[in-house]
Amino acid sequence: MLIELLTDDELAFLTSVRHDLHAHPELGFEEDRTSSIVARLLTEAGVSVHRGLAKTGIVGTLKCGSGEGTIALRADMDALAMPETADRPYKSTVEGKMHACGHDGHTTMLLGAARHLARSRDFSGTVHFIFQPAEEGRGGARQMVEEGLFDLFPCDAVFGLHNMPGLGTDEMAVVAGPQLASSDSWKVTIRGVGTHGAKPHLGRDAVTASGHFLSSLQTIVGRLIDPLQPAVVSACSLQAGDPEALNVIPDFVEIGGTARAYSPDVRDRLETEIGRLAQGIAQTFGMEADYRYIRRIPPVINDPDAAADALAVARSVCAGNVRTDFAPSTAGDDFAFLNEDIPGAFVWLGNGPAVDGALHHNTAYDFNDEAIATGVSFWVHLVEQRLAASGTQE
Ligand SMILES: [Zn+2]
Ligand SMILES: [Zn+2]
């Protein structure tokens, strides 16, 4: 079922597209060449194209039959600001940029699915193909939503896919519930009163207060969060005083870090408790703390029904070779902004064994072309299943 979907010629064509994208990586919101190729191939296939959402973002729309169901499929297009060290015929031609997360493969597979569905038209309803810019920390998904993605292109469900080394290229993982953690930042400034290092009683020592804050920080995860709920709080930056002025107690200490969670409740609790601890400790020592919690990416949480649909399709495409006990990742993906208000599922597609140990964001990483057929087949069958042409679907 899997391999017959694409002809040898089409698979060769898609592989050449993937290699071309790999050789010409572009960073977030700069995907001008990539999005031009996407737009051209969609247009040539007969898919209507909307350009310019979140600068370089594209939505292709394909309508078929009289079905009212709507589904959105998302691929990310951006590369990373890092050098490619492995030699390959289609190695990055741009210094300091490379496709180290496999988004070249994601873009290719969604293009392959659009081309196939535009030919076969074996569904009844509307498909939106979302080609998103700037997944790697630059806020592409959020900007697409803020610029009206789902007002312009409403949909009943949205699906995303990411390649995953360690799973076979004919293997997928589909799990309901949390897939990726929320990824937020926090900043605390403890404000004391600077003074002579020899006369601490004449000031308020923010350095000592910050030591108490840091040594108590892990009590948030250890004592306040449900032990059965994963959570991470890390202080990653600490700035105070001047190493050239070792007789000066500084006015303030700035501390910053990250917080991760898999549920909105735990995320809210982390936001509250980090601030409460900072302000409480500052108060204990007679000073004040400024606190800022910066919400960056919500957790990716798969809707049970959407995940069940995706699982059924993955099982048929991969001849049963699908994992349902796959551990979530503490990384984040801004697909979270797409399925925050719309039911959706984010699934993993095998990328084969990690070659020479290279994982995502490694300078030798590469998307595996063997996975193209599986990914295209998954997208096509998901559309045909959700928007069944028989008329049995709503
Ligand atoms: Zn990445
Ligand atoms: Zn990625």
Q: What is the pLDDT of residue 389?
A: 79
Q: What is the pTM of this model?
A: 0.89
Q: What is the pLDDT of residue 237?
A: 95
Q: How far is CA 110 from CA 8, 59, 72, 77, 390, in A?
A: 18, 11, 11, 11, 24
- How many Å lie between the centroid of ligand 1 and the Cα of residue 162? 9
- How many Å lie between the centroid of ligand 2 and the Cα of residue 198? 52
Closest CA to 330 of 242, 262, 258, 237: 262
Q: What is the pLDDT of residue 153?
A: 98
Token pair recorded at residue 179? 């897939």
Q: What is the pLDDT of residue 253?
A: 98
- How many Å lie between the centroid of ligand 2 and the Cα of residue 135? 7
Q: What is the pLDDT of residue 331?
A: 87
Q: What is the pLDDT of residue 392?
A: 47
* Planar angle of CA 176, 264, 329, nearest 5 degrees: 50
Q: Are strands 70-76 and 125-132 parallel, antiparallel or unpaired?
A: parallel
- How many Å lie between the centroid of ligand 1 and the Cα of residue 347? 15
- How many Å lie between the centroid of ligand 2 and the Cα of residue 22? 14
- How many Å lie between the centroid of ligand 2 and the Cα of residue 250? 42
- How many Å lie between the centroid of ligand 2 and the Cα of residue 366? 12
Q: What is the pLDDT of residue 2?
A: 53
CA distance 172 to 163: 9
Closest CA to 56 of 32, 33, 79: 32
Q: Taking the C-alpha atoms of 120, 124, 129 and 130 in order, what is their torsion angle to the nearest 10 degrees?
A: -170
CA distance 222 to 274: 13
- How many Å lie between the centroid of ligand 1 and the Cα of residue 256? 23
CA distance 85 to 224: 44
CB contact at 8 A, 172 and 374: yes
- How many Å lie between the centroid of ligand 2 and the Cα of residue 162? 6
**Total residues found in the chain within this entry:** 394
Task: Show pLDDT as tens, one digit a residue, over the chain (394 residues).
Answer: 454 689 999 999 999 999 999 999 999 999 999 999 999 999 999 999 999 999 999 999 999 999 999 999 999 999 999 999 999 999 999 999 999 999 999 999 999 999 999 999 999 999 999 999 999 989 999 999 999 999 999 999 999 999 999 999 999 999 999 999 999 999 999 999 999 999 999 999 999 999 999 999 999 999 999 999 999 999 999 999 999 999 999 999 999 999 999 999 999 999 999 999 999 999 999 999 999 999 999 999 999 999 999 999 999 999 999 999 999 988 899 999 999 999 999 999 999 999 989 999 999 999 999 999 999 999 999 999 999 976 444 4
Backbone angles phi, psi at 254, to 5 degrees: -110, 130
- How many Å lie between the centroid of ligand 2 and the Cα of residue 101? 5
Q: What is the pLDDT of residue 330?
A: 85
List beta partners, residue 51.
Answer: 58
Q: What is the pLDDT of residue 109?
A: 98
List beta partners, residue 172.
Answer: 322, 349
Query: Any idea which ligand is nearest the CA of 100?
Result: 1
